[in-house]
């Protein structure tokens, strides 16, 4: 197959694909290489190994750790293969495809629908059909959302749909033709863009139909539904029951001081009139005050109207717990008066259960810090209700090792993924700079750079800012993936010293990235022509601290006829 770009450029492109998606990289290789070539067979063998690993994983005959180790080994072999590509590997002519028999046969269906989807953010759902089951496991890395149905009757034409049984919960957009041909070899795939519009547990309906050609009508019509599978979807991460805000359950309670009084509570005659005084809560950034609900009257004075009773029955959830607590404690004036103000106000904030209520609570009690057990929960619930990045960051700043740290980090990552997709689709100076500002710890600056590189004017304007942001993120999030992405995107960077310094602070990370750092250092030494050009990289060489590396550097320097003393100072 004739190449449309130089080998080095093609290799860089394949490496970028490999970093993001092993299956996609193998597919790209197989499509580029001629079918009767040696490299094609190597790519085919790697795909076969990935397919075998996928089959074992979905059948639960291999542990997740062993599966991941196999995938990592295949990825490393693929990287070696990409690095060894030569123009001769692409010269053999491609074999023409031989279509097979399209008669009705037994096949299998694989589908992937995420168990959890973020509210009002798109997720990709996949359906695959193949005659040979092995074909379903090509070009895919399995996770817990992948399901398989075997021994399904398939025809030469089939139809796949993803439906919303409730009619208004999901926005579903098909990214593939609804009706497609089923080939003898390989798989046929349908993709759907699904955006949940309502939170909670809902259902998606997967429907795969076999089509039969009717000559009188001149078209295919459904003959049999092969699969009718219902999948439960959770549209957004649910709060644990222990941390859920209090909501009403739909009941009214009348507390009788004589008959229903709790042990240890103050008797009615002990109540003082001033015990019913309400403590105002100042609203944030305003001079106004929010008052907690007025304490209820004595039971004999309580006469709920019919309208109030109907409204009460419409309530649901745990807010009734807050209501009962308020009635019990406030009904006994002495108990209410002895209850700490931050506890009483927390009942009220939980009763309202919205971002503004929690923000009001934080504004009043944020100085109490860890002395107030409800404050951290208020920070978390404000962020969960508002879904604002600023509120999530406020929690992270206030509670670096907090109870809800994992949940908050997950929410931030979801936002980052959505914003990164926007940058990839429509790169601009505005949204790139906003991404750099919003996610300074991101490990995706290589993807941002790749998006910007598609536009020459943006590359000139933003290249320095993106590299600086990437360096900063390496210092705050020192991981092998972050460092290797930087070394790949900036092979001629003059900042190797900073990268090496950051990596050396984590022995485990340093052990992983050391070979790649050494390669980059030797490349820069090789390119240097004078002692002055060598000196900037020498701190990185010393930080590596490897005698083999030092010897290689010295050999390169001597080969260039540069005096060792002028490079190392007093060392000859």
The pLDDT of residue 183: 83
The predicted pLDDT at position 116 comes to 84
Q: What is the pLDDT of residue 437?
A: 94
Give the helix/strand (H/E) hosting 229: strand 219-234
- Count CB atoms within 10 A of the CB of residue 538: 17
Instruction: Tell me what pLDDT residue 192 has.
Output: 92
Phi then psi for residue 176, to 5 deg, are: -135, 165
- Which of 322, 378, 335 has the alpha carbon at shortest distance from 355? 378
- How high is the pLDDT of residue 385? 92
**Exposure letters 194-218 (e unless 16+ CB within 10 A, then b):** bbbeebeebebebbbbbbeeeeeee
Instruction: Judge residue 108's burial from the number of C-beta atoms within 10 Å of its C-beta, 0-12 exposed, 13-18 middle, 19 or more buried.
Output: buried
| CA-wise closest residue to 107 among 188, 214, 206, 175 | 188
Beta bridge pairs of residue 202: 233
Predicted confidence at residue 312, as pLDDT, reads 36
Give the Cα-Cα-Cα angle 316, 320, 326 (nearest 5 degrees): 155
Give me the pLDDT at residue 13, please.
84
Residue 186: CB atoms within 10 A of its CB come to 16
Q: Supply the pLDDT for residue 358.
A: 92
Backbone angles phi, psi at 67, to 5 degrees: -60, -45
Residue 253's pLDDT is what?
Answer: 36
Whether 293 and 348 have beta carbons less than 8 Å apart is answered as yes
Residues 191 and 126: beta-carbon distance below 8 Å: yes
Q: What share of the chain is helix, strand, coil (3-state, %, to 5)?
A: 50, 15, 35
Q: Which residues pair with 160 in a beta bridge?
A: 208
Closest listed residue to residue 486, CA positions, set 446, 439, 449:
446
* CATH 2.60.40.10 is right for the domain spanning 105-234: yes
Question: What is the pLDDT tens value at each position of the chain, 572 positions in all?
Answer: 456 678 888 888 888 888 878 888 888 888 888 876 778 878 888 888 888 888 888 877 888 888 888 888 888 888 888 888 888 777 754 444 343 344 567 888 888 888 888 888 888 899 999 988 888 887 787 777 888 887 788 888 888 999 888 888 899 999 888 888 888 888 899 999 999 888 888 888 888 888 877 766 667 777 665 565 566 666 544 434 334 444 444 433 343 333 344 433 343 333 333 434 444 444 444 444 444 444 444 433 433 333 333 333 333 344 444 454 454 444 445 444 556 788 888 888 888 889 999 999 999 998 888 788 889 999 999 999 998 999 999 999 998 888 888 888 888 988 998 899 889 888 999 999 999 999 999 989 998 999 898 888 888 899 999 999 999 999 888 888 888 889 888 888 888 888 888 888 888 888 888 888 888 878 877 777 776 777 777 777 777 766 666 777 777 766 666 554 444 554 43
């Amino acid at each position: 197959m004739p190449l449309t770009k130089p080998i080095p450029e093609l290799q860089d492109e394949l490496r970028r694909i490999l970093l993001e998606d092993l299956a996609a990289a193998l597919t790209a290789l197989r499509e580029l290489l001629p079918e009767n070539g040696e490299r094609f067979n190597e790519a085919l063998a790697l795909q076969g190994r990935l397919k075998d690993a996928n089959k074992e994983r979905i059948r639960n005959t291999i542990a997740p750790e062993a599966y991941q180790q196999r995938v990592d080994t295949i990825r490393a072999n693929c990287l070696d293969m990409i690095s060894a590509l030569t123009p001769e590997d692409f010269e053999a002519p491609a074999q023409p495809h031989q279509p097979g028999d399209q008669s009705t046969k037994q096949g299998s269906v694989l589908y992937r629908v995420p168990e959890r989807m973020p509210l009002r953010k798109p997720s990709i759902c996949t359906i695959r059909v193949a005659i040979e089951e092995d074909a379903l496991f090509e070009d895919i890395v399995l996770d817990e959302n992948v399901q398989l149905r075997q021994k399904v009757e398939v025809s030469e034409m089939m139809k796949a749909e993803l439906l919303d049984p409730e009619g208004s919960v999901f926005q579903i957009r098909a990214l593939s033709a609804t009706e497609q041909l089923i080939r003898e070899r390989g798989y046929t795939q349908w993709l759907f863009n699904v955006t949940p519009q309502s939170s909670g547990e809902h259902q998606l309906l997967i429907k795969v139909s076999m089509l039969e050609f009717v000559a009188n009508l001149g078209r295919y019509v459904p003959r049999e539904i092969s699969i009718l599978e219902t999948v439960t979807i959770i549209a957004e991460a649910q709060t644990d029951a222990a941390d859920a805000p209090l909501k009403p359950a739909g009941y009214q309670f009348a507390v009788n001081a004589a008959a229903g009084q709790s042990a240890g509570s103050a008797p009615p005659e002990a109540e003082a009139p001033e015990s019913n005084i309400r403590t105002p809560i100042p609203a944030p950034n305003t001079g106004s005050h929010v008052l907690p609900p007025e304490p209820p009257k004595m039971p004999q004075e309580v006469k709920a109207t019919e309208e109030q009773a109907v409204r009460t029955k419409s309530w649901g959830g745990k807010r009734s717990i807050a209501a009962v607590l308020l009635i019990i404690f406030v009904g006994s004036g002495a108990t209410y008066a002895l209850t700490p103000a931050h506890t009483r106000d927390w009942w009220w904030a939980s009763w309202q259960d919205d971002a503004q209520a929690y923000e009001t609570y934080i504004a009043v009690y944020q100085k109490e810090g860890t002395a107030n057990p409800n404050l951290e929960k208020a920070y978390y619930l404000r962020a969960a209700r508002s879904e604002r990045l600023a509120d999530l960051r406020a929690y992270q700043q206030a509670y670096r090792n907090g109870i809800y740290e994992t949940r908050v980090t997950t929410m931030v990552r979801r936002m980052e993924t959505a914003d990164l997709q926007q940058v990839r689709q429509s790169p601009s100076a505005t949204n790139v700079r906003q991404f750099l500002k919003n996610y300074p710890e991101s490990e995706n600056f290589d993807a941002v750079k790749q998006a910007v590189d598609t536009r020459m004017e943006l590359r000139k304007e933003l290249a320095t800012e993106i590299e600086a942001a990437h360096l900063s993120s390496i210092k705050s999030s020192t991981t092998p993936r972050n460092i290797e992405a930087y070394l790949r995107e900036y092979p001629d960077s003059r900042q190797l010293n900073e990268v090496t310094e950051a990596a050396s602070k984590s022995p485990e990370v340093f052990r992983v990235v050391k070979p790649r750092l050494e390669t980059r250092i030797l490349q820069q030494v090789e390119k240097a022509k004078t002692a002055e050009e060598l000196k900037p990289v020498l701190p990185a060489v010393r930080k590596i601290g490897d005698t083999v590396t030092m010897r290689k550097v010295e050999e390169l320097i001597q080969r260039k006829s540069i005096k060792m003393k002028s490079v190392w100072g007093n060392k000859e």
